[in-house]
Amino acid sequence: MENNVTTWFEVYSPDMESSKKFYADVFGWTSEDMDMGDFKYPMFSNGGAPHSGMMSLNTPEMADVPPNWLIYFHTADIADSCGKVTAAGGTIVSGPMDIPGVGHIAIIADNHGAHFALHQPAAMPAE
């Protein structure tokens, strides 16, 4: 996959059930919960593969996060990309962290505070 392309979108919601209904009513999206062990992660689709997901804001670590959409950009080397972020005046808000089966992610603030995420996909198993 090419670096710097969008790979995922995630909405952060204080009320996940009402958000599911909102996006179903507006866009016709359906959602299916993915079991993440400690929590369920709703993934949205529109008749095909999932295209985005949702995180709950109802946890202590999310107390100061407003409702928002987060965009993920692909990187082949998350450590290198995080180094470039800090060198350019941005900050690492969270991570890099490993998400089993997904890869490594880091949440970033650019040099003005706008947030986005980096995603280094998990290695694909050999066939």
Model confidence pLDDT, tens digit, residues 39-50: 889 999 998 888
Of the options 3.40.50.10540, 3.40.50.360, 3.20.19.10, 3.10.180.10, the CATH number for the domain spanning 9-71 = 3.10.180.10
Confidence label for 67 from pLDDT (cuts 50, 70 and 90): very high
Please state the rounded mean pLDDT for residues 102-121. 93
Residues 6+ apart with CB under 8 A from 91: 85, 108, 109
d(CA 89, CA 62): 24
Say what percent of the chain tops pLDDT 90. Answer: 68
Residue 92 vs residue 122, higher pLDDT:
92
Please state the rounded mean pLDDT for residues 85-105. 92
